[in-house]
Amino acid sequence: MYIIAEIGSYFDSDKVRAKKLIVFATGTSTMSEINETIRAIRSLGNEDHILPQCITSYPSHFENVNIRAMKSMGEIFDVLTGYSEHPFVRQ
């Protein structure tokens, strides 16, 4: 079981304390907002979370995806990262 949540949104502290995996949508979040959310989750004893790099415009063109953000978030917050994609595909 896992929880999907947006950075800065309300989350159920009982589920967080139950140490369920949390997948955070980063969207347009700033690094400061991500940091605040990660600190709050960790203060409840949950170290099990993933930060996917999310794109807010769909379909996205590859030059707009900022793939390097995954590496930065992983290093800064010591978390698993991923990529949420909705690519533009030419037919």
- Under the banding of pLDDT at 50, 70 and 90, the label for residue 67 is confident
Say how many residues make up the chain: 91
The answer to pTM > 0.85 is no
Quote the distance between the C-alpha of residue 60 and its chain's center.
Answer: 18
Give 6-41 as a 3 state SS string: ECCCCCCHHHHHCCCEEEEECCCCCHHHHHHHHHHH
pLDDT in tens, 10-58: 666 777 777 778 888 777 788 888 888 888 888 888 888 788 777 666 6
The answer to whether 21 touches 43, Cβ cutoff 8 Å, is: no
Mean pLDDT value across residues 73-81: 88
pLDDT, position 60:
67
- Under the banding of pLDDT at 50, 70 and 90, the label for residue 84 is confident
